[in-house]
């Protein structure tokens, strides 16, 4: 049977049965024009060959054929070869295939520079990831030269910086790196990877460097709201003031006064600071000079929260209403619409181009159309009033005085997950693509795994990554990015939890990998 399988099908396909096939093979083996070869694995292979007449005649005939072949056009040559191949057996086809394979391969990376097309070779290799780029460097000296002279490691890092916020943040903290050769970026890449792995480990293990700002309020203590960037932190205090802090030195740069009640909410951009107060007003300040540019008097009770973006501002109040404003400039702000529907104080609002989302002490989250200001739907589920939320894309994350956090799909109104762990009212919450960070009246800040929380198969016990305890009072507000959390509290402090610049002593500490570990910095 093995012998039969080794012979071209044309020799045995016509046999009626196995016995006839074996007889035919025996006859073939006895013929002088048939050679039986032993393959390395011990099986036999039969090759049927015509007897070559004489070496001299063959060489003359071959030379004549080649002479005629060379005189033909390319299309005639192809047609002739196709005709020859069609007359060959399977074994010959395999032999020709093995002969053609290396002829059809092209080292295009080496060939392109020879044609003066270095830039095309560089462009092709610039799409490789780090692992593939390492492998490409080992192919040959010419590939390594293209990668080096094309500065492809630098281009890879620049691509990562453009597409990944963590890489972007690290590059800003490292400063400019223009000028060094490709070898510098070749060695820089694994260092950045190591930094990223260290940061992720610090988040999961609770390792951080803690800095504290004592706000030293004049009368009543408490920092109700804050926002920060790389240079400054702006905070709204219970003592009616707004304080601007240098983020590096932690010194107070400026104090803005004018509100006659506690500053409960704020937001700023490169031009203005907008604040809301328990004195029922919204004030607009020049971010550079601290001058009051505008005062909006509309709400009847405390302004609890506000958001502005792209010429639109939304404010909400203890008076149960939501006000939508057109914000042409700092001095040209006009009321567009008042949204009414909540049965208790509206504690928080958020919006994008599609929806305005509001949450209230009446236990509900309401969704409104941004363009028409019409009511869309209500999200029900919390057992007590809702104190905070964030909305982005389809996801809404809310915190409540029922001590829970809920994740919602805004399009269908479904509750995707309930997070339990805080012991008192969840007052502030933020999320990005990886994490949810929450602060509560129990004085604790919890870090949650967002992707796991969105996976219905993930056990509830695995969702809380860390619990950070340092505030001695209620946590009122927090903001975070890939490298840090900044939080404020009733204890009159602002804390900076830095997961990037962790001292070596803290890095060397061994901590339990358990996700329920509570870290208390000292």
pLDDT digits (tens, 9 = 90+) for 346-399: 999 999 999 999 999 999 999 999 999 999 999 999 999 999 999 999 999 999
| Confidence at 15, pLDDT banded by 50, 70, 90 | very low
β-bridge pairing 364-369 and 375-380: antiparallel
Give the span between the Cα atoms of 487 and 479, in whole angstroms: 7
320: left (phi over 0), alpha (psi -120 to 50) or beta: left
The per-residue DSSP string of 273-317 comes to EEEEETTSEEEEEETTT--EEEEEE--SS-EEEEEEETTEEEEEE
Nearest to 315 by CA among 342, 281, 279, 344: 281
> Is there a contact between 315 and 339 (Cβ–Cβ < 8 Å)?
no
Distance from the Cα of residue 261 to its chain's centroid: 41
For 238, 367, 373, 393, 418, the CA distances from 350, given in Å and listed in that order, are 23, 10, 13, 12, 20
> Is there a contact between 174 and 166 (Cβ–Cβ < 8 Å)?
no
Nearest to 474 by CA among 499, 502, 493, 456: 493
| Confidence at 169, pLDDT banded by 50, 70, 90 | confident
Give the span between the Cα atoms of 378 and 522, in whole angstroms: 44
Give the span between the Cα atoms of 165 and 484, in whole angstroms: 13
DSSP 83: H
Q: What is the pLDDT of residues 420-457, one digit of tens each?
A: 999 999 999 999 999 999 999 999 999 999 999 999 99
Give the span between the Cα atoms of 165 and 492, in whole angstroms: 31
Q: Which two tokens stand for residue 404?
A: 């829970």
SS3 state of residue 6: helix
Instruction: Determine whether 113 is exposed, middle or buried from the number of CB atoms within 10 Å of its CB (0-12, 13-18, 19+).
Output: middle
| Confidence at 105, pLDDT banded by 50, 70, 90 | confident
> Is there a contact between 243 and 518 (Cβ–Cβ < 8 Å)?
no
CB count within 10 Å of CB 363 equals 19
Q: What is the pLDDT of residues 286-330, one digit of tens each?
A: 999 999 999 999 999 999 999 999 999 999 999 999 999 999 999
Q: With a cut of 80, say whether residue 23 has pLDDT above it.
A: no
pTM beyond 0.85, yes or no: no
Give φ, ψ of 316 to 5 degrees. -140, 160
Q: With a cut of 70, say whether residue 162 has pLDDT above it.
A: yes
Give the span between the Cα atoms of 293 and 313, in whole angstroms: 16
Q: Which of 110-114, 315-319, 334-338, 436-440 has the lowest mean pLDDT?
A: 110-114
> Is there a contact between 144 and 137 (Cβ–Cβ < 8 Å)?
yes
CB count within 10 Å of CB 106 equals 9
Residue with tokens 């990877």: 193
Give the span between the Cα atoms of 68 and 82, in whole angstroms: 16
Give the span between the Cα atoms of 106 and 63, in whole angstroms: 30
Q: With a cut of 90, say whether residue 13 has pLDDT above it.
A: no
Cβ contacts of 235 within 8 Å, gap of 6 or more: 215, 223, 225, 226, 242, 243, 244, 245, 266, 488, 494
> Is there a contact between 215 and 200 (Cβ–Cβ < 8 Å)?
no
Write down all domains in the chain, each with its CATH number in brackets.
17-28+56-105 (no CATH), 113-173+183-205 (1.20.1280.50), 209-503 (2.130.10.10)
Task: Assign 3-class secondary structure to 44-67.
Answer: EEEEECCCCCCHHHHHHHHHHHHH
pLDDT score of 175: 64
> Is there a contact between 410 and 394 (Cβ–Cβ < 8 Å)?
yes
């Amino acid at each position: 049977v093995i012998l039969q399988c080794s012979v071209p099908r044309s020799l045995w396909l016509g046999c009626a049965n196995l016995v006839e096939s074996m007889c035919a093979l025996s006859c073939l083996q006895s013929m002088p024009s048939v050679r039986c070869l032993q393959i390395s694995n011990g099986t036999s292979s039969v090759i049927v060959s015509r007897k070559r007449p004489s070496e001299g005649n063959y060489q003359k005939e071959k030379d004549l054929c080649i002479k005629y072949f060379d005189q033909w056009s390319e299309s005639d040559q192809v047609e002739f070869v196709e005709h020859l191949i069609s007359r060959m057996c399977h074994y010959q086809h395999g032999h020709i295939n093995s002969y053609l394979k290396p002829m059809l391969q092209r080292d295009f990376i080496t060939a392109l520079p020879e044609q003066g097309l270095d830039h095309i070779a560089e462009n092709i290799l610039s799409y490789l990831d780090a692992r593939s780029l390492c492998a490409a460097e080992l192919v040959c000296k010419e590939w390594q030269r293209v990668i080096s002279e094309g500065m492809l490691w630098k281009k890879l890092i620049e691509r990562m910086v453009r597409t990944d916020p963590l890489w972007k943040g690290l590059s800003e903290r490292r400063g400019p790196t223009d000028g060094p050769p490709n070898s510098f970026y070749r060695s820089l890449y694994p260092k950045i990877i190591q930094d990223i792995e260290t940061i992720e480990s610090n988040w999961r293990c609770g390792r951080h460097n803690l800095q504290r700002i004592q706000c030293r309020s004049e009368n009543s203590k408490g920092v109700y709201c804050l926002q920060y960037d790389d240079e400054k932190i702006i905070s709204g205090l219970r003592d009616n003031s707004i304080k601007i802090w240098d983020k590096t030195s932690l010194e107070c740069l400026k104090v803005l006064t004018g509100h006659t009640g506690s500053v409960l909410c704020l937001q700023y951009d490169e031009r203005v600071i907008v604040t809301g107060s328990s004195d029922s007003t919204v004030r607009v300040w020049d971010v550079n000079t601290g001058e009051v540019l505008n005062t909006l008097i509309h709400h009847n009770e405390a302004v609890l929260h506000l958001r502005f973006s792209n010429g639109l501002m939304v404010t909400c109040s203890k008076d149960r209403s939501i006000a939508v404003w057109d914000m042409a400039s700092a001095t040209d702000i006009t009321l567009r619409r008042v949204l009414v529907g909540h049965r208790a104080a509206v504690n928080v609002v958020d919006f994008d181009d599609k929806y305005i989302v509001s949450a209230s002490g009446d236990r509900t989250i309401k969704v409104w159309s941004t363009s028409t200001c019409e009511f869309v739907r209500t999200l029900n589920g919390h057992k007590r009033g809702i104190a905070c939320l964030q909305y982005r894309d389809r996801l809404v994350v809310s915190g409540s005085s029922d001590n829970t956090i809920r994740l919602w799909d805004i399009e269908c109104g479904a509750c995707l997950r309930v997070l339990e762990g805080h012991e008192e009212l969840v007052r502030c919450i933020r999320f990005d693509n990886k994490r949810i960070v929450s602060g509560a009246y129990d004085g604790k800040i919890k870090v949650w795994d967002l992707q796991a929380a969105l996976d219905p198969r993930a056990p509830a016990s695995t969702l809380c990554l860390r619990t950070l305890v340092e505030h001695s009072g209620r946590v009122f507000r927090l903001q975070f990015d890939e490298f840090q959390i900044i939080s404020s509290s009733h204890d009159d402090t602002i804390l900076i939890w830095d997961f990037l610049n962790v001292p070596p002593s803290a890095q060397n500490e061994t901590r339990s990998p358990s996700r329920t570990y509570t870290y208390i910095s000292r």
